[in-house]
Amino acid sequence: FFIRRGEKVKTKVIIKERPLDDDTQELRERIKEDTEEMSRLRDQIIRYEKALQQSRQASVSEEQIRPLNEMIAQYQYRMQRDAKELENLKRMLAKKQFELETTKYDAQIAEGKLQPLKETITSYQEKVDLDAQELERLRGLVHSYAHELDVTKKEVQVSLRSIEDKCKALNFVIGRVYADKRGGSPEIREKIHIPREMYNEFSEIIQHPKKAEAAKLMKVLRLILAKLEQMELEEGSVFKPKKGRIPLERQKGDPVLAVLARNDNDPVIDYHAEAKLICQKLISIMEG
């Protein structure tokens, strides 16, 4: 076959269709798995959130917030992974559009080939947007819990200082009322006063709060509460009263607290009631 000089030769350009990597079905399966995985995690978080609301009495604790933070961290990681996958899908769409344009597909045919992928991207975008909204809600929830915990810590610190002040005040009254000249003795004062080392523990706990200190704090609070309750017992059941050079004003059957109140100008009943109430409240918070 020869071509003479100057002769025009008609040629037909055959454009071979390059098959598209139509893995849309595989993508949909993967998206479905991701969605189910996120849904399970979201349900787990919601269940924990509800349990937290139902179980707590006064306030949340760091131990209760920690699992929620861990689940939210997982949620955020998966959401970031999905967002990256969405970007990959968008790049894939751009690549396929370019392939269709260069192979001169009919516009309608090209659109038909791209439609499944576009639908997948739209669906995935909606999922990522919803996950982002849920993540913001969860972050807000943890922030509110953290704020509540911070407020609770401050309340506890103030409460501990208040107990310390009331205990010191009660001890001063005990020292005055049960002085030796009024029939008291070191043994009697030792029996009913609140040991200084008990409430001195508070200062250390306030300055260096640690998880390990919780058990110690609970123990101290219970001991102080027991001493406060002892003051409500009849004086004669706690120790044998003695007469001093300066007699005490008392009535038969008076509890220790009543004797203290009758023989001192300080608001002993108020000191005692406030210290007892705060102890009970803190114990309730820690047990809850």
Give the closest residue to 157 by CA, choosing from 58, 278, 280. 278
Residue 91: per-residue pLDDT = 86
Residue 117: per-residue pLDDT = 80
Q: What is the CA radius of gyration of the chain?
A: 39
**Domain spans in the chain, listed from the N-terminal domain onward:** 24-150, 153-287
Per-residue pLDDT of the chain (288 residues; tens, 9 = 90+): 333 444 443 433 333 333 444 456 676 777 777 777 777 777 777 777 777 666 554 455 566 667 777 777 887 888 888 888 888 888 888 888 777 777 766 666 667 777 888 888 888 888 888 888 877 877 777 766 665 555 456 666 777 888 888 999 999 999 999 999 999 999 999 999 999 888 777 766 666 555 546 777 888 889 999 999 999 999 999 998 888 888 899 988 899 999 999 999 999 999 999 889 888 888 877 775
Residue 13: per-residue pLDDT = 33
Residue 282: per-residue pLDDT = 82
Over residues 47-83, the pLDDT tens digits come to 777 776 665 544 555 666 677 777 778 878 888 888 8
Q: Do domains 24-150 and 153-287 have the same CATH topology?
A: no
Residue 170: per-residue pLDDT = 95
Residue 144: per-residue pLDDT = 66
Contact 158, 206 (CB under 8 A): no
The CATH code that applies to domain 153-287 is 1.20.120
Residue 199: per-residue pLDDT = 79
Class of domain 24-150: mainly alpha
Residue 12: per-residue pLDDT = 36
Locate all alpha helices (DSSP H) within 178-267, ordered by sequence.
Answer: 186-192, 196-207, 213-230, 235-238, 256-262
pTM: 0.50
Residue 284: per-residue pLDDT = 79
Residue 60: per-residue pLDDT = 54
Angle at 284 between CA 283 and CA 288, to 5 degrees: 120
Over residues 76-93, the pLDDT tens digits come to 888 888 888 888 888 888
The Cα–Cα gap between 20 and 114 comes to 10
Residue 244: per-residue pLDDT = 86
User: Directed axis angle between helix 24-55 and helix 107-177, to 10°?
Assistant: 20
Residue 3: per-residue pLDDT = 33
